[in-house]
Structure 1
Amino acid sequence: MLQNNTSPTLDELFGRILARQPDQPALIDPPDKLRVTGQPPRRLTFAQADRAVSALAGHFIEAGLPPNSVIAVQLPHTVELAVTVLAAYRAGLIVALLPQLWRHAELTVALNRTGARAIVAMGRIDGVDHAELAMNAAAEAFSIRHVCGFGSDLPEGMVPLDLAVDNSNTGNAGLAVQDSRRAALVTFEGSGSGFRAVPRTHVNLIAAGLAIFLESGLPQGATILSAFAPSSFAGLTSSFVMWLLSGGTLAMHHPFDERVMIRQIEADGCDTLVAPAPLALRMAEAEALSSVRSLRHIIGLWRAPEQVGSSALWPQTGIRMTDVYLFGEAGLFGARRADDGTPSPVMPGPYRAPPEVPASSTAGEIVLTTKGTLGLRGPMVPVAAYATSDGPSDAFASLSPPDYVDTGYAARIDRTSGAITITAPPSGVMAVGGYRFLADDLQEWSRRLGQNAMLTALPDRLSGHRLAGRAGDNARAREALAELGLNPLMVEAFRDRTVATD
């Protein structure tokens, strides 16, 4: 691994852990991986992971991928994802994360938007042929030169990467010089002009990981179970980056099977669970976590941060919960819950991690904008990615663009406490779990299905919204949307619903 004189990259953080504890467990696959991907689960030490990373990085370089080119990755929450991301960084590449539910339409747009030179996919995920999806999307992206995949029965023309990872002939020859100030990750945000590609450097990612890691008080050498899909900035930061900061073990869970999750926490002795906050609260209220003796920390991620203030008390004694407020791809911040289980107040201005240490570093700043919305600034926030206007009317609005990102979430100051209260999500944007849709997009797709068709987003406590559709023939509507290459959230909105009778 070639070093530089700047701040470390994520791969260099991995190298520091490797030097200290090469034989310690690093990565653990979901126990139901065979069902999900058809591949047996794997457990890798840091030394084993390093050999796989070097072999795969060498493959990317030998394939002719130049440094700073984009490699698109659509993989499940398995060992292959972590190894591919580290290998891309070791080869000097930029990783573009593609959500698992994206199908042909979204994949094609993302590949063309980023100018990706390669795409890496899994053969099958939960019975869906992702290898074929990747091949079809790559055929419509002129920049793609390499289509690679993990798993068996890959289509003709897709390069199998399992052989590269298992290759023991590794070395540092030809590896790129790593620079933490260059782009490392690209994720995607819905905007008025369609998908916005949001790039981040290694420094941005480490800053975000530290904000969560220090706020939650995680110990060094933590064993982290991540049950949050790593297909976004928050997903990768709360699992992959925190694993490298703690120098411990990352166990991955394919969301969501609560029984499998509990068994996995117990079997691997996990002390930290990263999961959607509403799911963690529901499990705690049902006393599903009370029997797990090793668990000490919950990192609860809120895709709908306006719900934190009205959420239930954290009832679990002996386990500390940290609420992590997510604002799409713009940024995040964390707040550890009080001893009585109530959410901690969020004050405007700079916030530190951990907050009780006066000399701790500033993790970021929370701003209340003149529009009555919440803004973010700080080392993790990619202001430049959001600086471009979505319409010509904004072109000359200001000669001095703001040094913060307006998240669009409505917010106000509580007169009694002085804390910020987030009251509503951005208008016109619907969040279904980790996937964000524009309301106009939903209306456009429903219009394509005929005059009597309807597609809308309904409030949902667990996932923010859920999609519901109605058409004259739901089966034909599902077929039409699938043929258009839309993701299954839209397709299954038109599932047939039966009404129970007494």
Structure 2
Amino acid sequence: MNQPAVSPTLDTLFQRTLMRQPHAPALLDPLNKARVTGHQPRRMTYAEADTAIEALSAHFVESGLPANSVIAIQLPATVEFVLTVLAAHRAGLVVAVLPLLWRHAELTAALNRTAARAIVTMSKVDGVSYSDLAMHAAAEAFSIRYVCGFGADLPEGMASLDDVLARPPGTTRAVIQDGRKAAMISFDVTAEGFRPVPRPHFSLIAGGLAMSLEADIKQGATVMAAFTPMSFAGLASSLAVWLLCGGTLALHHPFESDVLEQQINAHECEVLIAPAQLALRLGDADLAARMPGLRNVIGLWRAPEQVAASDAWIAPHAPLTDVYLFGEAGLFGARRGEDGMPVAVMPGPHGAPREQSGSSIAGEILLTPRGTLGLRGAMVPIAAYAPPQPVGDTLTAQPPRDYVDTGYAARLDRPSGAICITAPPSGIMAVGGYRFLSNDLQEWARRLGQGALLTALPDRLSGHRLAGRAQDNARAREALNELGLNPLMVEAFRDRSGPV
């Protein structure tokens, strides 16, 4: 009797390459890892990575984590991040990714909303004790039963995963590899507030396909990922793209331009995946002479409304692919033409190669009746963004939408028929990859007392930047730290010589 066909998982893709070339290089750490985390950089082949994944997977099982339970991770862009995600999937767990900017307040909310059973972190990242943050957040999340981390000087009660990697793997459990099973939970902010967004494996793989096919990444390529990994776009642009091309993944902890350039040349990287503004700055700095081995550059736009007004790409030896990000809802890519300018984005299916106009590998772009951009397709988690059904007669209720409304204002250009993205969602601020409601700024300012001001100012590179003023900025920073807020809000009250 034939077994029903199942779609691949991320671990399935890893094991396919492992079987074909076990001794090929798989993972390369940032060259400055010792400064960032205190660990020496690792270089791992597929066979070495598989042994480490097996050891971590067995440890999660031995620690009593049930299949399909949630394990939260807050890790930098290092080899440990990749190993932990793949080990969790091999153990049948769902990974919830926690951005490094998050502090106590957001960590606690995320752990409670997802009923996470475990949390994995790094002892220190850039001098910040993430192990202490994890322990304090776990103390207020009743579902957490296990806390573990990489690095030295872990607090009492936190298990060391470095010790796990140093010993032979234990016994793991059999897990059905099916891409339809839940793989990750990321977190978005919409007009309705904080929102967990679960995704299956095939959705992550579709996100990776949208980038790798549009950019035409060749099999076996060495990919430099210089984008923060704790989001859907971060996982798709690093883990999924690497596993789809079956090459080598080099990681860079954002951002040190000199170190990034050194890594690209030392590892002979052919593909660079980075925030679009960073990529454009590199392109303006004689990229062909400084990094001649590059053949593809993928620029990720957290503020996709800025793409149309961006400068021309002037490094023809390494064409640029613009990837439009819409929070955690989805993304699409468009490779620039020979003139280096952004190409028109047409409504309808988007896939690759372009001449196959009916291809819907990547997804579909549409203009909603509200004059906003909508997305649908394999990567788009429609159920996570579905509006609540109206209360009343079920016979007259509207059928559920088959797309996600991103909230980005958009219109059709009449001469060309292209979609023009004109503005970000109303009421939502973005500072780099950190999104929050504008009302939150007023609430936090009120907590600081009379005369305090916290506002978001437009910024060409990151969308917005935060600025604050209080009667005593030092005391304001201390108060925000005690509230468990992230450093963007805290540093908004840094001392300045000029006006806010």
Bin the TM-score by the shorter chain: over 0.9
2:154 aligns with 154
Aligned residue for 2:13?
A: 13
2:446 counterpart residue number:
447
Deviations 1:138-162 (A, max 9, x none): 0000000000000000000001011
Correspondence 1:72 to 2:75? no
1:312 is the counterpart of 2:311: yes
Q: Deviations over 1:447-494 (max 9, x none)?
A: 111121111111111111111111111000000000000000000010
Deviations 1:145-180 (A, max 9, x none): 000000000000001011112222356x52322321
Aligned AA (2:446): R
Deviation at 1:499, TM superposition (A): 4.0
Instruction: State the distance in 2 between where 1:466 and 1:365 align.
Output: 32
| Residue 492 in structure 1 maps to residue 479 in structure 2 | no
Deviations 1:41-61 (A, max 9, x none): 101000000000000000000
CA deviations on 1:181-207 (whole Å, 9 max, x unpaired) are 111000000134432000000011111
Query: Distance between the aligned counterparts of 1:397 and 1:494, measured in 2?
Result: 52
SS of corresponding position for 1:35? helix
Q: Is the 8 A contact 1:455 1:493 kept in 2?
A: yes
Aligned equivalents of 1:398, 1:197: Cα separation in 2: 25
CA distance in 2, matches of 1:289, 1:64: 52
Cα distance in 1 for partners of 2:161, 2:189 equals 31
Say if 1:72 and 1:116, in contact at 8 Å, map to a contact too. yes
Q: Distance in 1 between matches of 2:390 and 2:300?
A: 32
User: What's the counterpart of residue 100 of structure 1?
Assistant: 100
1:275-314 matches, cutoff 5 A: 275-288=274-287, 290-314=289-313
Residue 5 of structure 1, CA deviation: 4.2
Residues 224, 4 of structure 1: CA spacing in aligned structure 2 closer, same or farther, 3 A cutoff? Answer: farther
Which ranges in structure 2 are unaligned for 5 or more consecutive residues?
A: none
Q: Distance in 1 between matches of 2:86 and 2:391?
A: 40
* Local SS of the residue matching 1:367: strand
Correspondence for 1:165:
165
Residue aligning to 1:382 = 381
Partner Cα distance (1:142, 1:397) in 2 = 41
Q: Which moved more, 1:344-353 or 1:248-257?
A: 344-353
TM-score, normalization: structure 1?
0.96
Give the CA deviation at 1:341.
0.3
Structure 2 distance, partners of 1:48, 1:311, is 42
Shift of the 327–143 alpha-carbon distance from structure 1 to 2, 3 Å rule, reads: same
Q: In structure 2, do the counterparts of structure 1 residues 43 and 361 end up closer, same or farther at CA, with 3 Å as the change threshold?
A: same
- Alpha-carbon offset, residue 290 of structure 1: 3.4
Q: Helix, strand or coil: the match of 1:169?
A: coil
**Residue-by-residue CA offset, 1:420-460 (whole Å, 9 max, x unaligned):** 00000000001100110110011100111112111111111
Query: In 1, distance between residues paired with 2:396 and 2:425?
Result: 21
Are 2:365 and 1:363 aligned? no
Q: Distance in 1 between matches of 2:372 and 2:191?
A: 17
Contact 2:349 2:360 (C-alpha < 8 Å) held by counterparts:
no
Q: Counterparts of 1:234 and 1:488 in 2: how far apart (Å)?
A: 22
- Counterpart amino acid of residue 460 in structure 1: D
Contact in 2 for aligned 1:110/1:195 (Cα 8 Å): no
**Partner secondary structure for residue 125 of structure 1:** coil
State the match for 1:468 in structure 2: 467
Decide whether the 8 Å contact of 1:373 with 1:408 is kept in 2: yes
Equivalenced residues, count: 496
Letter of the 1:142 partner, please give it.
F
| Letter aligned with residue 486 of structure 1 | L
Q: Deviations over 1:75-126 (max 9, x none)?
A: 0000000000000000000000000010000000000000000000000000
Per-residue CA deviation, residues 233-283 of structure 1 (Å, 9 max, x unaligned), is 001101110000000000000100100000000000000000011111112
User: In 1, are the aligned partners of 2:275 and 2:301 still within 8 Å (CA)?
Assistant: yes
Would the aligned equivalents of 2:349 and 2:359 in 1 still touch at CA under 8 Å?
Answer: no
> Using the alignment, how far apart are the partners of 1:435 and 1:353 within structure 2?
30
The answer to whether the 8 Å contact 2:88/2:94 transfers is: yes
Structure 1 CA distance for aligned equivalents of residues 261 and 155 of structure 2: 36
Q: Secondary structure at the match of 1:176?
A: coil
User: How far apart are 1:354 and its partner, in Å?
Assistant: 2.2
Structure-2 residue corresponding to 1:226: 225
Secondary structure at the aligned position of 2:456 is classed as: strand
Q: In the TM superposition, what whole-angstrom CA distance separates every residue of 1:328-379 from its partner, at most 9, and x where no partner exists? A: 0000000000011011100011122221345745421111011100000001
- The aligned residue for residue 134 of structure 2 is 134
> For residues 147 and 192 of structure 2, what CA distance do their matches in structure 1 show?
28
Q: 1:416: which partner in 2?
A: 415
Q: Which residue of 2 aligns with 1:44?
A: 44
Residues 220, 248 of structure 1: 8 Å contact kept: yes
Partner of 2:480: 481
The letter for the 1-side match of 2:34 is: L
> How far apart are 1:391 and its partner, in Å?
10
Q: Which amino acid in the other structure matches residue 71 of structure 1?
A: I
User: Counterpart in 1 of 2:203?
Assistant: 204
Q: What one-letter code is carried by the residue in structure 1 that aligns with 2:227?
A: F
For 2:337, give the aligned amino acid. A
CA distance 1:266–1:390, change in 2 (3 Å): farther
Q: Which runs of structure 1 show a deviation greater than 6 angstroms over 4 or more consecutive aligned residues?
A: 390-393
The one-letter code sitting in structure 2 at the alignment partner of 1:408 is G
Distance 1:360 1:415, change over 3 A: closer
Separation (CA, whole Å) in 1 of partners of 2:5 and 2:59: 26
Flag the 1:262–1:442 CA change in 2: closer, same or farther, 3 A. Answer: same
The secondary structure found in structure 2 opposite 1:308 is: helix
SS at match of 2:398: coil
Residues 196-275 of structure 1: pairs in structure 2 closer than 5 A: 196-275=195-274
Asked if 2 retains the 8 angstrom alpha-carbon contact of 1:386 and 1:405, the reply is yes
**Counterpart Cα distance in 2 of 1:109 and 1:397:** 36
Please say if 1:180 is aligned against 2:179.
yes
The code of the aligned residue for 2:413 comes to: D
Where does structure 1 lack aligned partners over 5 or more consecutive residues? none
RMSD: 1.9
Percentage identity across paired residues of the two chains: 64
